[in-house]
Structure 1
């Protein structure tokens, strides 16, 4: 049985036992010896004091703890035998002291041997004291032997119980470690999946939309090279500007640039610039109410991405003639409304990646996205993001 010093609850139980050992093991012989001659009384009290003073060496003192505990058990066995010799028997002191051997011996075999040595010393001391008178004290010796036998049986049983408890604790610790490992692996996989989803959303909202715009502008510029060279030159300029913006977005995605470079200006100016480019590239009529609402960088980027995705959907699917954009500070946060007079669609049947990406992006900021549309009635998109205090 291992010393329980590493277990707080057993350490507290051990303190209670030591208190009982002093009160029931050392104090009674000290009281009983007062009726003996002066020499016996003083020697016995000195031995009992020595046993009490030797106990602290089992604690946290320098040196090998196993050696210190073995030394204490040796002193305890010898001291019990000496007290038995002086008082004609010390069965009660021996019985109360037996748990020490099982606590500090380190193994059942050592506990049995050392407690057996203490029992033999106690019996021998009592026998030596009674030998001159020709009287043997069988009662005290028998009590010591019975106490030793009972202590061995109880100690072996406790060792088995504690061993089973330790085995269960090791199994539980192994299961816990395995669960923690599997949880960490699941979190790693989930983190990788979340990162892939984030990158897919960023690529869709930035690079893919930019490339789609470049393709549309390039087709228009090629078709108008002869009929409208000025318009084609303007479209080529837009292609160049869009390509540069895509390059900046790509650098942000790979971590080569600060995300603050995406939307460094105020949200109103950022959206105004995006709407002007959209109107220039598509020729659609765009009306906008864009007050300068104060918000943090993450909110500005989210509003910009929602605007870019909505305008891309208008360009590709709506067949609209006018687009309206309204930005305002609402009671619960900043609100962005984008409407068009296009062909509309059935919201319940929509499975587009863009709308889902906008919903997830806003949800990450505690906001939400409301899409209102029906075939032939245009589309209204309302994005709301709560502002930090």
Structure 2
């Protein structure tokens, strides 16, 4: 889009320049024809020859703009010489200098060059008039010099003003183009960042729901296979847990697909009730002692999801790595935050060396809600996970939802 805008601006400028150039040539031709028609035959032929040189030089420049031999400055030099020659043929020809003023600014590459050719044209015209009038006559001093200097001054002022306007317009167009490019780059960067954030969020949802469910199924299936002969009742119970987890995974998958990857499968209501159900299932599947103190909190949906996912991830880590015998879970509302604390008496680990996706996902979940996650552990001393979410955020969001 920026390229098209720049091309349109260039086309518009070229069209305006061509129109202005046409007007200059029409005026030039009209004045030249009128002056030539009044001259003597010898003057006419000389004037027509000089005008023809100027016209031919311009025609070559217009026909071959990219040719290194045909240059704008060459045309301006021919024009200067033609004006001097015309002024030498007849003093009235000096008035043609006035209608050629725009060409010095249109074809001069810089204001200094334009002013230089403007000065050369003035000198050539004055010199031709001086020779034609026979020296320093009263007419030359009183009319020709004064008139030419006035024309030069007016032409210089108008040219400098026009050049300043064009320069400002060019700078403005450049700034607009840079702004459009920057906006396009920012838009692309935002799109890439949005896509990356969406992939990361979807990966976190899959990890915290489907992947954890599949991990539970694998652990339960291995335990059931190992105990199927020695403890059929226990194996049957584990098979029922496998079936229940598989159904929950299927529901989670349908929720994720149906909601476009948005978190689902978490019903509204008391988070304590949902946590109690998760803890009961965990105790039944693992045989570990679970001690829970769960306050009956009314949280918004995002806070509820964060608390449940942190609990599920922590319990999954206990199941896979901790080799613990007891797990404690405390959910409470403090004056400044909602707190979820999960502890175990397992093997522990070095927190600074942990590179797990689960811990990182829990930290990001709490951070997105303005909270933070603290993990305290050391080898042989168990693990403590503390998630804190600002109570004001949870309360405000809940009130907006109820309103």
Q: TM-score, normalised by structure 2?
A: 0.59
Aligned match for 1:196, one of 182, 194, 199: 199
2:341/2:385 contact within 8 Å kept: yes
**Superposition deviation, residue 264 in structure 1:** 2.5
Aligned match for 1:292, one of 289, 296, 304: 296
Aligned match for 1:187, one of 187, 190, 195: 190
Distance 2:202 2:174 in 1: 42
Over the aligned positions, Cα root-mean-square deviation in angstroms equals 2.8
1:344 corresponding residue in structure 2: 348
SS in 2 for 1:157: helix
2:306/2:366 contact within 8 Å kept: yes
2:252/2:264 contact within 8 Å kept: no
**Superposition deviation, residue 196 in structure 1:** 1.0
1:326/1:336 contact within 8 Å kept: yes
Where do 5+ consecutive residues of structure 1 fail to align? 1-106, 110-138
1:64 corresponding residue in structure 2: none
**Superposition deviation, residue 171 in structure 1:** 1.7
1:263/1:300 contact within 8 Å kept: no
1:263/1:301 contact within 8 Å kept: no
2:283 corresponding residue in structure 1: 279
Residues 110-168 of structure 1: CA deviation (Å, up to 9, x unaligned): xxxxxxxxxxxxxxxxxxxxxxxxxxxxx999999866653332111111111112112
Residues 223-270 of structure 1: CA deviation (Å, up to 9, x unaligned): 222222221221111111111111122122223487454232311011
1:207 aligns with 2:210: yes
1:221/1:233 contact within 8 Å kept: yes
Aligned match for 2:274, one of 270, 275, 279: 270
2:270/2:298 contact within 8 Å kept: yes
After superposing the two structures, state which structure 1 stretch, 323-332 or 262-271, moved more.
262-271
2:223/2:235 contact within 8 Å kept: yes
Distance 1:256 1:294 in 2: 24
Residues 2-33 of structure 1: CA deviation (Å, up to 9, x unaligned): xxxxxxxxxxxxxxxxxxxxxxxxxxxxxxxx
Distance 1:142 1:256 in 2: 86
SS in 2 for 1:220: helix
1:322 aligns with 2:316: no
1:108/1:159 contact within 8 Å kept: no
1:252 corresponding residue in structure 2: 255
Distance 2:147 2:257 in 1: 81
User: Cα 1:354–1:156, aligned 2, differ >3 Å: closer, same or farther?
Assistant: same
Matches for 1:132-211 after TM superposition, within 5 Å: 149-211=152-214
Q: TM-score, normalised by structure 1?
A: 0.62
1:385 aligns with 2:394: no
Matches for 1:6-45 after TM superposition, within 5 Å: none
Distance 2:256 2:191 in 1: 20
1:260/1:297 contact within 8 Å kept: no
Residues 314-357 of structure 1: CA deviation (Å, up to 9, x unaligned): 00000000000000001211000000000111111111111111
Where do 5+ consecutive residues of structure 2 fail to align? 1-100, 104-141, 397-403
Distance 1:237 1:291 in 2: 30
Distance 2:278 2:361 in 1: 19
1:327/1:337 contact within 8 Å kept: yes
1:231 corresponding residue in structure 2: 234
Distance 1:108 1:242 in 2: 86
Distance 1:242 1:328 in 2: 28
